[in-house]
Amino acid sequence: MIPVEGFEGQRVGVLGLGRSGLATARALAAGGAIPVVWDDSAEGRAKAEAEGFAPEDLRRDNVLTTLACVITSPGIPHLYPAPHPVLARAMQLGVPVDNDIGLFFRSLGQSSWGDYDVAPRVVAVTGSNGKSTTTALITHILQEAGRDAVMAGNIGRGVLDIDPPEDGGIVVLELSSYQTDLARALTPDVAVFTNLSPDHMDRHNGMGGYFAAKRRLFAEGGPDRAVIGVDEPEGVYLAGQLSHGPQDDRVIRISSGQKLDQFGWSVFARKGFLSEYRKGRQLASVDLRGVPGLPGAHNHQNAAAAWAACRALGLGPRDIELALHSFAGLPHRSQIVREINGVRYVNDSKATNVDSAVQALRAFPKIRWIAGGLGKDGGVQGALNDLGNVVKAYLIGHSAREFALQLGGLEQEICETMEQAVARAHAEAEPGEVVLLAPAAASFDQYTSFEKRGEHFTDLVRALPEA
């Protein structure tokens, strides 16, 4: 646990008592603060009481006005589409609002750091797609190279739940837009921006607000090195804003598809090969086509981002290349579950929006595509130009019929449930084809999370007969 500093003897509100909220309350108490906890649900309050915290109703002014700060969980809106009443009132009363990421950065530097030979460092990864894989890959590479590295944030453990890093330790954080939007302190040593595509539009009041939330990690944080994906206009803009010119190697531009050899420092992947350039000179080239845990161009972009971040931390090309080949990938992200009679079954349940689903559709040939769920704005319109590899679509969930209309003449079948979709795809698949779960939709119509959806698909596939 990282004890929260700066609130000794003060009352600090904690709104939302899920994983991050309870970890925040513990860390505040460990640092000498007095956590004042509240959750709108009786279940959440009961969990806090079981840990010895006494909930107080933060909806009351006579409670709010006694607080030095209110710490909110990332899932609770603070501005759009409408702020939670507690947060709205706190801001009206002038009570600061923060989150666990802000507390992490303000509390990370311990007095013992003065005795370390190498100060601990923080890598923070944000973006729309690929940030979980990139975060896990960076951590894997560092650990394979013998570095003391831990993964936290939006993946792995809560940021305040980890042990303080020791001499030379590295904390690798995945940060969502919900987390970067509100944190009052953001000071990573290396910050990574993977890409940008529409998501969480209601929470950020549109694309501009969404990008602004991501940009805060760089504008507020002032990282020593910024790794920026430049395959979208926003990334090109961000790289230009952060650099003093094309040869400024504090910014490492990355791409999947573009050749970037004219900058001070760049890493890019084209046609399955990763290249690193500095000052116009190629320093490394790696064949990614045989890396089983990173299939497809979207994963090659993740590899480029992880490569750049690890090079910024001082690792050599050979160490990074070796670690790429031993990376197993993450569950629910282009995860190869099984092969039966020449048919591969791939779980990409994390493809909760159309852009991430498109990346999966581009990664595999001859696809029997399981899609659907709780569709987002636009449905699957954004995939219509990337259906060349799709043999047939099997549509499930709330948006099955909407998706069917949008997919038009593509061979398709409305299956409603995952059980029926897996059974039908298995019955019709031929050797050399891929049965791909890439829903292009949220899971909440039928499942509590994309993980539960992916686990259900995996269980069904593992139960299929060989013949």
CATH number for 197: 3.40.1190.10
- Residue 4: inside a domain: no
Over residues 365-413, the pLDDT tens digits come to 999 999 999 998 889 999 999 999 999 999 999 999 999 999 999 999 9
Structurally, the chain folds into a number of domains equal to 3
CATH number for 75: 3.40.50.720
CA gap 411, 48 in Å, rounded: 51
Contacts for 222 with CB less than 8 Å, ≥ 6 apart: 187
Q: Binding site annotation covers 257?
A: no
Angle between helices 317-325 and 131-144 (to 10 degrees): 120
Over residues 330-361, the pLDDT tens digits come to 888 888 899 999 999 999 999 998 988 998 99
Q: How confident is the model at residue 220 (pLDDT cuts 50, 70, 90)?
A: confident
Find the domain containing 292 and state its range.
Answer: 108-325
Q: Binding site annotation covers 443?
A: no
Statement to judge: residues 117 and 262 lie in one domain:
yes
Statement to judge: residues 369 and 277 lie in one domain:
no
- Residue 83: inside a domain: yes
- Residue 204: inside a domain: yes
Statement to judge: residues 365 and 452 lie in one domain:
yes
- Residue 291: inside a domain: yes
Q: What pLDDT score was predicted for residue 330?
A: 82
Strand partners of residue 123: 172, 190
pLDDT reading at 467 higher than 70: no
Statement to judge: residues 198 and 272 lie in one domain:
yes
Q: How confident is the model at residue 70 (pLDDT cuts 50, 70, 90)?
A: very high
- Residue 6: inside a domain: no
Provide the percentage of residues in the chain whose pLDDT is more than 90. 87
Average pLDDT over residues 56-78: 96
CB atoms within 10 A of CB 93: 12
- Domain boundary among the residues 300, 325, 350 is at 325
Q: What pLDDT score was predicted for residue 154?
A: 86
- Measured in residues, the chain has a length of 467
- Residue 452: inside a domain: yes
Residue 74 near residue 24, CB atoms below 8 Å: no
Q: Residue 160: phi, psi to the nearest 5? A: -90, -5
Q: Binding site annotation covers 128?
A: yes
CATH number for 414: 3.90.190.20
Q: What pLDDT score was predicted for residue 272?
A: 93
Over residues 246-298, the pLDDT tens digits come to 999 999 999 999 999 999 999 999 999 999 999 999 999 999 998 988 988 88
- Domain boundary among the residues 78, 98, 118 is at 98
- Domain boundary among the residues 325, 344, 379 is at 325
Query: Mean pLDDT, the chain, as a whole number?
Result: 94
Statement to judge: residues 53 and 184 lie in one domain:
no
Statement to judge: residues 310 and 182 lie in one domain:
yes
pLDDT reading at 222 higher than 90: no
Statement to judge: residues 357 and 273 lie in one domain:
no
The b/e string for 322-354 (b: 16+ C-beta within 10 A; e otherwise) is ebbeebebbebbbbbbeebeebbbbbbbbbbbb
Statement to judge: residues 64 and 168 lie in one domain:
no
CA gap 199, 210 in Å, rounded: 8
Report the DSSP pairing between strands 343-347 and 170-174.
unpaired
pLDDT reading at 223 higher than 90: yes
220-224, 308-312, 442-446, range with the lowest pLDDT: 220-224
Statement to judge: residues 386 and 365 lie in one domain:
yes
Q: Which residue carries 């959750």 as its tokens?
A: 39
Q: How confident is the model at residue 111 (pLDDT cuts 50, 70, 90)?
A: low
- Residue 1: inside a domain: no
- Residue 130: inside a domain: yes
Statement to judge: residues 432 and 453 lie in one domain:
yes
pLDDT reading at 112 higher than 80: no
Q: How confident is the model at residue 232 (pLDDT cuts 50, 70, 90)?
A: very high
Q: What pLDDT score was predicted for residue 113?
A: 78
The b/e string for 150-188 (b: 16+ C-beta within 10 A; e otherwise) is bbbbbbbebbbbbebbeeebbbbbbbbbbbbbbbeebbb
Statement to judge: residues 287 and 356 lie in one domain:
no
Over residues 6-54, the pLDDT tens digits come to 999 999 999 999 888 999 999 999 999 999 999 999 999 999 999 999 9
Over residues 410-442, the pLDDT tens digits come to 999 999 999 999 999 999 999 999 999 999 999
Statement to judge: residues 293 and 418 lie in one domain:
no
